[in-house]
Amino acid sequence: MARVTVEDCVLKIPNRFELVMMAAQRARKIGSGAPLTIERDDDKNPVIALREIAGDTVQESDLKEELIRNHQRMVAYEEEEETIDLMDGEKEWGSIAAEAAKTGMYSEEEINDDEAAEPSLEELAGGAPKE
């Protein structure tokens, strides 16, 4: 069994934090069935990952990309155009309203009468302010 230390790997990846993160990512991949690029020699997955990094048998760029992809919370995807489903009868009501507007079914007076029927804010507040 060849002895590997972090100092051997720091020559390949100078940032120790980045080295540990990438080695841990590779060890998880090995644990989930990824093929080994070196002999196991009865070593555990983290040691194999460090030996692969020290021996340049895995690409640093590939490890970085996997690490970034696995830590993303949101997967980027293209949004499809949203379609709005109409409720039952909504299409018919829309066509009836369009027909009424086209034929002039409601006069201006009826529309204005409806607006006048609603109380104003002053009326709701109890009348006009006194001076």
Distance CA 58, CA 81 (A): 41
For position 49, which CATH number holds? 3.90.940.10
* CA 84 centroid distance within chain: 22
**Residues 15 and 65 grouped into a single domain:** yes
> In total, how many domains does the chain have?
2
CB 26 within 8 A of CB 67: no
pLDDT greater at residue 11 or residue 73: 11
**Residues 97 and 48 grouped into a single domain:** no
Determine what percent of the chain is predicted with pLDDT higher than 90. Answer: 28
The range of the structural domain enclosing residue 61 comes to 6-71
**Residues 113 and 62 grouped into a single domain:** no
Write down the pTM of the prediction.
0.53
* CA 99 centroid distance within chain: 44
